[in-house]
Structure 1
Amino acid sequence: MTEYIATTPGVYPLPDWAKDDLADLKGHQKHDLVDGDEGEEVVAVYDEAREEVLDRQQSAGLDRVVEGQLRWDDMLAHPLAVHDAVETRGIVRYYDNNNFYREPVVTDELTFDGDVAGELEAASEFADDDSLQAVVPGPYSLADLATDEYYGDDAAFLDAVADFLAGEIEAFPEVETLFVLEPSLVENAPGEGEDERASEAVDTVANAVGSDTDVVVHTYWGALDEKVHAHLLDADFDALGYDFVSNSEDNLYNINEYGTKDSIAAGVVDGQNTLVEDSEAISERADWLVENTPAADFETVYLTPNTELFYLPYSTFEEKLAALGEATDLAEVKA
Structure 2
Amino acid sequence: MSELVATTPGLFPLPDWAKDQLSDLKGHQKGDLISGDESDAIVAAYDEAREEVIGDQLDAGLDRVVEGQLRWDDNLAHPLTVHENVETGGIVRYYDNNNFYRDPRVTGDLTFSGDVAAELEKASEAIDGEAALQAVLPGPYSLADLASDEHYGDEAEFLDAVGDFLAEEVEAFPAHETLFLNEPSLVENAPGEDTDALASEVIDRVADATDADVVVNTYWGALDEKVYAHLMDADVDAIGFDFVAGDREQTLYNINEYGTKSDIALGLVDGQNTLVESPETVRERVDWVQEQVASQDFETTYVTSNTELFYLPVNKAQEKLAVLAEAASLNEVKA
TM-score norm. by structure 1 comes to 0.97
8 A Cα contact 2:2 2:333, kept in partner: no
> How far has the Cα of 1:334 moved from its partner?
6.3
What residue is the counterpart of 2:230 in the other structure?
Answer: 231
SS in 1 for 2:303: strand
Q: Using the alignment, how far apart are the partners of 1:14 and 1:7 within structure 2?
A: 18
User: Residues 169 and 291 (structure 1 numbering): CA distance in 2 closer, same or farther, change over 3 Å?
Assistant: same
Q: Using the alignment, how far apart are the partners of 1:257 and 1:334 within structure 2?
A: 22
8 A Cα contact 1:176 1:214, kept in partner: yes
8 A Cα contact 1:141 1:185, kept in partner: yes
8 A Cα contact 2:31 2:73, kept in partner: yes
SS in 1 for 2:23: helix
SS in 2 for 1:132: strand
Sequence identity, in percent?
Answer: 69
User: Residues 99 and 31 (structure 1 numbering): CA distance in 2 closer, same or farther, change over 3 Å?
Assistant: closer
Aligned partner letter, 1:228: V
Q: Using the alignment, how far apart are the partners of 1:331 and 1:244 within structure 2?
A: 21
SS in 2 for 1:105: strand
1:104 pairs with 2:107: no
> How far has the Cα of 1:20 moved from its partner?
1.5
What residue is the counterpart of 2:15 in the other structure?
Answer: 15
Q: What are the Cα deviations for residues 140-185 of structure 1, in whole angstroms up to 9, with x where unaligned?
A: 0000000001101000000000000001000000000000000000
What residue is the counterpart of 1:182 in the other structure?
Answer: 183
Aligned partner letter, 1:143: A
Aligned partner letter, 1:12: F
SS in 2 for 1:98: coil
What residue is the counterpart of 1:133 in the other structure?
Answer: 134
Q: Using the alignment, how far apart are the partners of 2:194 and 2:27 within structure 1?
A: 47
8 A Cα contact 1:93 1:101, kept in partner: yes
Q: Using the alignment, how far apart are the partners of 1:334 and 1:62 within structure 2?
A: 21
What residue is the counterpart of 1:193 in the other structure?
Answer: 194
8 A Cα contact 2:117 2:170, kept in partner: yes
Q: Using the alignment, how far apart are the partners of 1:160 and 1:196 within structure 2?
A: 15
Q: Once superposed, which parts of structure 1, at least 4 consecutive aligned residues long, lie more than 6 Å away?
A: none
SS in 2 for 1:332: coil
Q: Using the alignment, how far apart are the partners of 1:163 and 1:146 within structure 2?
A: 15
What residue is the counterpart of 1:309 in the other structure?
Answer: 309
What residue is the counterpart of 1:49 in the other structure?
Answer: 49
**Gaps in structure 1 of 5+ consecutive residues:** none
Q: Using the alignment, how far apart are the partners of 2:252 and 2:130 within structure 1?
A: 33
User: Residues 193 and 130 (structure 1 numbering): CA distance in 2 closer, same or farther, change over 3 Å?
Assistant: farther
For the aligned residues, what is the CA RMSD?
1.3
> How far has the Cα of 1:294 moved from its partner?
1.0
1:240 pairs with 2:242: no
Q: Using the alignment, how far apart are the partners of 2:105 and 2:268 within structure 1?
A: 35
